[in-house]
Each structure stands twice: as C-alpha cells, then as structure tokens.
C-alpha cells in the first residue's frame, strides 16, 4: 500500500471567482501580496475581460491558471475551499455560498459597491444592491450567504482586500472580526506598461449615459466644455454605447483611444505626470493609488 501524503495548503490554492476587469486586477494584487499563485475563473462578461486576463498574464500575474466560464463554476468551487470573490451580491455567489461550504472567503473590490457590501456585513443595510427590488428567493439566499460569511468571520476566515480600506464603512469591520487589507496596486505599478498619451491630458469616459443617470446631450455638452480647455485623449468606458462614442469622436480637440483595457492597467507605471479629468467614478478613486508618485492630478467634475 502506498504511503499517505499529508495535504498542505499548497495543495489547495486560492480560487478567485471574478466578473469584471477591476476584480481581475484585485485578484492579481491579492495573490502578489500573499506571495502565492492563485487560480482564476473569470466570467465572460465582455471583450475587456478576456483582454484584461491576457494582459495580466503577459505581465507575469501570479495566476496558476486563468480560465473563462459561463454560469457558476461548481466543479472549481467544490474542489477549492478558499475563495476570492469579486461580486458578493450576485445571485450566483449567493447560491454557491448557500450550497457549498468554503473554508475562507476574501472579497476583492467590485468598484464602490465594496462600501455597500461592508455596510451589509456590518448590518447597517440589507444584503442587496442599493436601489434594487429583489425577489423573495434572492433575499433569502442573500441572508444565508451573509450569515455564512459572518460565521467564517468568527474563525478569522473572512476578509476584504480593498482600495477603500480607509473608508469608515470598511474600518468598522474589524469589530466583527473581518480583516480588511489595503490594496495599494503596488504590483500593477511595478509591472506597468503605460500607453503613450502625447498631450499628457486625459478624459475618462463614463457609463452614466448607459446607466440612465445622465442624458446624452448633457454628457456631450460637458465633454465639449472640457475639450475647450485644450486637446485631450478620451479613454472610453467599457460600457459606453457606440452612438455616444461616435458623437464624442466628432468633438474638436478630443482623440478617442479605444484601449480595450481598464484605465488602471493602461496607465499604471506612467513616467510622466498626467492631467486627468473625470466624472465621479470608481476609476477616479483607484487611479489615485495606481498613479501615486507620478505627479499626476485627477480632477472630478459634475456635468452641468
């Protein structure tokens, strides 16, 4: 009979289950901060997901393997007990958290939604995306997922790895035994391959029109005003409609750069100061950390 081999942590690597480019970057940063390889299952939610995964791998991201998926990656979740989760509010995660029993869960940023997740874990708000009415089943699964995560917290097995670590909503989580670790994007800066921006001036595109929070003409009027101050490169948001991009391309002074990557990945490691203009967004917050030490400035504006 063969000799039994003791199972070690290296036999059970972290599994990151992510659904957006920023979550993919968070998984790479988390793995680098821990000095270990991580297995990644990334949802095929658009071309930028595949492009981001390929670019991270090209830069040497500490991924054991990165593979696309549709639906819930049940087999991977069942065979890996230590999860890194990008979207804690998704119905799929709620189902998986209810059906399976991970040994640990670490949440990486899903944009500013991470703040709302922290408030839900602290019991300050319902476990649901803000402004959405949920079905009874989804509410039930949300409650169970939250309860199971809080049970993990009692054994020190629930954490958040976030660029919002200093936000008051995350700072209070330590009282619930939820460890919060700051993501300062140090790996991304170290492995940066910044795009060339001849003017050194950038306008970040927004999904506000697509989300219905800003009328197209108001958005274009704002862009015309910004462009009137001098030429700039326009970096589109991954969810901007094509008709909006065509209208943006017609604005004098703006050069649309369809980079196909998240701006954090495209601008990290810049050797020159950048002048960035943006509406309020998660990218404006994360870029402050990505561009730390470069002398870059980020100005937030409101579309009048």
CA pair distance 184, 70, nearest whole angstrom: 30
Q: What is the CATH number of the domain that holds 73?
A: 3.40.50
Same domain, 123 and 67: yes
Residue 210's closest CA among 237, 190, 232, 240? Answer: 240
| Domain assignment present for 4 | no
Show the 3-state SS of 20-77.
Answer: CHHHHHHHHHHHHHHCCCEEEEEECCCHHHHHHHHHHHHCCCCEEEEEEECCCCHHHH
- The verdict on 109 and 226 lying in the same domain is no
Q: Are residues 183 and 203 in the same domain?
A: no
pLDDT digits (tens, 9 = 90+) for 217-259: 999 999 999 999 999 999 999 889 899 999 999 999 999 998 9
pLDDT at 126 over 90: yes
Task: Answer yes or no: do 289 and 212 share one domain.
Answer: yes
pLDDT band at 9 (very low <50, low <70, confident <90, very high): very low
* Closest listed residue to residue 242, CA positions, set 216, 263, 267: 216
Mean pLDDT, rounded, for 44-60: 93
Domain identity same for 268 and 294: yes
Pair 132, 237 in one domain: no
Q: Say if 1 falls within a structural domain.
A: no
- CB-based contact 48:260 (threshold 8 Å): yes
Same domain, 82 and 177: yes
Look at strands 104-108 and 179-182 and give their pairing: unpaired
Report the DSSP pairing between strands 38-43 and 104-108. Answer: unpaired
In a domain, 2, yes or no: no
* Whole-number Å distance between alpha carbons of 303 and 270: 28
Q: Give, for 14, the enclosing helix (H) or strand (E).
A: strand 14-18
**Pair of tokens at residue 225:** 């005003």
Q: How many residues does the chain have?
A: 304
147 vs 271, higher pLDDT: 147
3-state secondary structure at position 97: helix
How many whole angstroms separate alpha carbon 303 and alpha carbon 221?
8
Task: Judge whether 277 lies within some domain.
Answer: yes
Check the CA dihedral 194-276-236-31 and report its sign: positive
Residues 41, 167 within the same domain: yes
Same structural domain, 168 and 32: yes
Q: What is the DSSP string of 132-154?
A: ----HHHHHHHHHHHHHHHHHHT
pLDDT (0 to 100) of residue 11? 52
Claim to verify: residue 185 and residue 209 sit in the same structural domain: no
Question: Do 167 and 55 lie in a common domain?
Answer: yes
Model pTM score: 0.91
H or E segment to which residue 277 belongs: strand 275-279
Joined together, the tokens standing for residue 171 give: 């700072």
Element (H, E) at 257: none
Instruction: Report the alpha-carbon angle 284-285-288, nearest 5.
Output: 90
**Cα–Cα distance for residue pair 168/173, rounded to 1 Å:** 9
Tell me, yes or no, whether 120 lies in a domain: yes
Total domains in the chain come to 2
Q: Which domain holds residue 275?
A: 192-301
Q: How far apart are CA 88 and CA 45, in angstroms?
A: 16
140 with 224, same domain? no
User: For residue 38, which of 178, 161, 154, 156 has the smallest C-alpha distance?
Assistant: 161
In-domain check, residue 3? no
pLDDT at 12: 60
* pLDDT, tens digit (0-9, with 9 covering 90-100), for 169-182: 999 999 899 999 99
Residue 94 has pLDDT above 60, yes or no: yes
pLDDT of 7 over the 60 cut: no
**Angstrom distance (rounded) from CA 108 to CA 64:** 18
Domain for residue 171, yes or no? Answer: yes
Question: Which among 189, 207, 231 is the end of a domain?
Answer: 189
Buried (b) or exposed (e) across 220-236, using 16+ Cβ within 10 A? bebbeebbeeeebbbbb
């Amino acid at each position: 009979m063969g000799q039994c081999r003791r199972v070690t942590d290296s036999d059970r690597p972290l599994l990151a289950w992510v659904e957006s480019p920023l979550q993919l970057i968070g998984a790479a940063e988390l793995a680098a901060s821990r000095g270990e390889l991580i297995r990644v299952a990334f949802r095929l939610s658009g071309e930028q997901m595949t492009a981001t995964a390929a670019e991270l791998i090209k830069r040497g991201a500490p991924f054991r393997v990165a593979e696309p998926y549709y639906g819930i990656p049940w087999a991977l979740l069942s065979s890996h007990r230590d999860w890194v989760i990008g979207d804690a509010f998704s119905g799929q995660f709620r189902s998986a958290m209810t059906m399976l029993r991970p040994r640990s869960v670490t949440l990486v940023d899903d944009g500013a939604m991470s703040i709302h997740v922290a408030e839900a874990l602290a019991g300050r708000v319902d476990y649901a995306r803000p402004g959405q009415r949920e079905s009874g089943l989804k509410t039930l699964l949300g409650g169970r997922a939250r309860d199971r995560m809080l049970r993990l917290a009692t054994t020190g097995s629930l954490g958040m790895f976030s660029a919002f670590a200093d936000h008051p909503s995350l700072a209070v989580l330590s009282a619930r035994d939820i460890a919060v670790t700051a993501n300062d994007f140090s790996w991304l800066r170290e492995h940066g391959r910044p795009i060339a921006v001849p003017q050194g001036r950038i306008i970040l595109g927004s999904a506000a029109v697509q989300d219905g929070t800003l009328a197209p003409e108001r958005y274009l009027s704002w862009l015309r005003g910004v462009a009137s101050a001098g030429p700039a490169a326009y970096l589109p948001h991954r969810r901007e409609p094509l008709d909006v991009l065509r209208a943006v391309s017609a604005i004098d002074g703006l050069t649309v750069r369809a980079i196909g990557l998240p701006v954090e990945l495209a601008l990290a490691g810049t050797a020159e100061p950048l002048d960035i203009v943006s509406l309020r967004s998660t990218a404006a917050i994360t870029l402050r950390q990505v561009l730390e030490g470069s002398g870059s400035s980020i100005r937030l504006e409101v579309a009048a």
